[in-house]
Amino acid sequence: MSDAATTSFPERYGPWALVLGASHGIGRSFARQIADKGLNVVMVARPDDGLDAAAAELRVATGVEVRALEVDLIADDMLDRLIAGTADLDVGLVACVAGGTDSVGRFLDHPAERAERLVRLNCLGPVRVCHHFGGRLRARGRGGIILISSLAGICGTDGTVAYSAAKAFDLVLAQGLWAELHPHGVDVIGLVLGNVKTPTLLASGAHFDPDDFPGMEPDEVAREGLARLGEAPMWVVGDENRSIYDALRGLPAADAINAMSAGMRAQYGWDG
């Protein structure tokens, strides 16, 4: 049974955290807020993504130890590089935040390789990382794993077929890992996100407005996600997103798919 409520954050999840996708957006916010709680942080991002600057800023701002690892998370050797870069560290918290979709469009109108990259980043990567570090956490009898899902993963969606499927995978992966690791003192949570104002989403062509597509800030997401770690196997981040989640789950499958598809097309100004 988790004792997250009776131990301090560093005692439960320290001394080191591993954050994937930490150079900007949600991952950078998680790295900063984890460091603010007293953990040292291994920041991981793909090469040439501003990682060194982000790591230097975190060191100055928080005073914790920060290690920067440039790793292409869709490469065949990604796990070998992560293992080598953390072999001397006691990693107690793993946040698989890397992921996202850089564009929308019909599944059959693009090369299969584009969908395969999404699967490698959002599915295969977390499986490999969670298998290795989950074993280390189970052996030490404490720690945590954070996986990122999305409202897009509630059902299949026109225009984000592979991404929606990958995010459904991430949520079920988190739930299964929670079932296996919770009895060993390891907290696992799948965070279901809505629109978040990240560089990746903005670059994809999505637009935001206060009424229809307000979007959350990355710092809000990280704050709420960390607060819920240890409380439940999953959490929908944001009051409005929880309302959307509940509404979609209550609809017949075809209606939910059509509603999500219409919302995606509206946000991207895409007529199909």
List beta partners, residue 192. Answer: 149, 236
Nearest to 41 by CA among 84, 29, 157: 29
Is residue 120 within 8 A of residue 129, CB to CB? The reply is no
- Among residues 1, 9, 186, 31, which one has the least CA distance to residue 96? 31
Residue 102 C-alpha from the chain's centroid: 15
Which structure tokens are listed for 64?
């914790």
Task: Compute the Cα dihedral for 18, 22, 25, 28 and give only its sign.
Answer: positive
What amino acid positions are annotated as catalytic residues? 163, 167
179 CB neighbour count, 10 Å cutoff: 11
Neighbours of 128 (CB within 10 A): 16
